Amino acid sequence: MKVLIEFEKNPLFFKDPKKIISCHTHDEVASCFVEMEKAIASGHYLAGFISYEAGHAFEQKLATDKGYDFPLIYMGVYERPVKNAVDVRSISRKAAGRLEIVTTNKSRQEYFEDIDAIRSFIERGDVYQITYCMKFLLGYKGDKYALYRELFDAQPVPYPAFLEAEGFSVLSLSPELFMKKNGTHIVTKPMKGTWFREGIMNNLFGGHFLEHDPKNRAENVMIADLLRNDLGRIGNNIRAPKLFEVAGYRTLFQMTSTVTASIDADILLHDLFKALHPSGSVTGAPKIRAMEVIRQLEGEDRKIYTGAIGYITPDKDLMFNVPIRTLLFRGNAGEMGVGGGIVWDSTPQGEWDECMIKAGFINPLK
């Protein structure tokens, strides 16, 4: 497996793993984390991903005996990363092919019905917010790394990654940090809140509109509070030093908040991921009930989408993104999840339009 992590403009390239730690059932998740601890203790790096559905294994009421057709955990064990930029960018020199959007896995009517169902859950008090997702089904004949490079060049993001393994490729053009741990300090940056750059006014002032929009601020602070709670399960000195930060991308503006904590530098990886994975920004609140509703309504596995991609050092420092704007290919067939936070005043048409625009970063390459 080859893993290229380009977080915060610091490329790390992992290749030729000593072994792959992986599993396809919830019963195997805990033993994978034991193997990961052993690999780190022996001085190795880990790089790869943890799928969204791996998070079900951490809660008894969510865990099942289902066998998944896509890995729940897929982490390579490496001696060290390659940091030479020439080596990193020479993974492939081929030109990108043509990317085709085949269809979506939900019709407009089905999507509208699901948004109405979520609003009913909110009305009953079951949940406050649900991050609901649909999928774009894709076709692509060509070199996957060339496509990743072209997508990144068209719209740079701070947390991109590329993975190539036997049977699948992952192209993650993510703007969202899941977590970053250095020693005893851990940072999370949940992303919630979107404003599109259509029209002169939105292009010029959309960031200001987003920062001060009551609906988007309410969504954002709700998830920031969820992350405060999750971090409080494993750490102390919980802080939110930055709220409602807005970043601009080619097609939209998005809002993040920063939540930090102090934790044990040697915390078990299983305990860390059990507390935080998946990120509250991709579930909603309250988290466990939101995940139950998501499984009921979405109807299929998210896989890598909204899971976690990243690396872990022998010192247990680590960094993972939230793989949104992420394409998963198996052969020439691909999928890309797109979603948003649904609250009481969300409308089916408004959320559908948001999904269409969020998928717009691949439009120039169709």
pLDDT value, residue 366 = 42
Q: Tens digits of per-residue pLDDT, 209-259?
A: 899 988 889 888 889 999 999 999 999 999 999 999 999 887 788 899 999
CA diameter of the chain: 56
By C-alpha distance, which of 90, 249, 265 is closest to 175? Answer: 249
Q: Per residue in 18-72, pLDDT tens?
A: 999 999 999 999 999 999 999 999 999 999 999 999 999 999 999 999 999 999 9
Backbone φ and ψ of 336, nearest 5°: -145, 115
* pTM (predicted TM-score): 0.94
Catalytic residues: 176, 192
Q: How far is CA 9 from CA 28, 99, 100, 161, in A?
A: 34, 26, 29, 11
Provide the token pair at 166: 């036997």
* Whether the Cβ atoms of residue 141 and residue 97 lie closer than 8 Å to each other: yes
> Mind listing the domains of the chain with CATH numbers?
2-90+97-365 (3.60.120.10)
